Amino acid sequence: VQLQASGGGLAQAGGSLTLSCAASGRIFSINAMGWYRQAPGKQRELVAGTSKSGSTNYADSVKGRFTISRDNAKNTVYLQMNSLKPEDTAVYYCNADAVVFTAGLTSYNLWGQGTQVTVSS
């Protein structure tokens, strides 16, 4: 079971990027999903999260600019990032609480590989 993130890149301040993260493998269900980021020299921080029912929460620094969404049928979470700022520059990681088919069912907290977002001023 793994998370595969994509969509990072270079954007100008005020621009937009969309990140995607798809879970694959023997997945029974996925509960909470979210995006974190880590800038150089800083701790990893929660950017946005979403529950299986679709409720969302955001870091104060991204409220009104970023939107998290998910497609449960595709086991995929998205992060639409608008009005990007240079301080949004970081490696972005997706995270998911997944229940996986093993001998029975096992819960895992999964991390994607990280995708670089760079915002130039």
55-87 pLDDT, tens digit per residue, is 999 999 999 999 999 999 999 999 999 999 999
Q: What is the reported pLDDT for 103?
A: 87
Q: What is the reported pLDDT for 66?
A: 98
pLDDT of residue 102 exceeding 90, the answer is: no
Is residue 14 helix, strand or coil?
coil
Is residue 38 helix, strand or coil?
strand
Q: What is the reported pLDDT for 99?
A: 95
Residue 91 pLDDT level (bands cut at 50, 70, 90)? very high
Using CA atoms, how far residue 32 sits from 10, 14, 50, 61, 101, in Å, is 28, 29, 6, 21, 17
Helices and strands, number each (H, E), in the chain: 0, 11
Q: What is the reported pLDDT for 59?
A: 98
Sequence-distant (6+) residues with CB within 8 A of 5 are: 19, 20, 21, 92, 93, 94, 112, 113, 114, 115
37-53 pLDDT, tens digit per residue, is 999 999 999 999 999 99
Q: Cα–Cα distance between 121 and 119 in angstroms, integer? A: 7
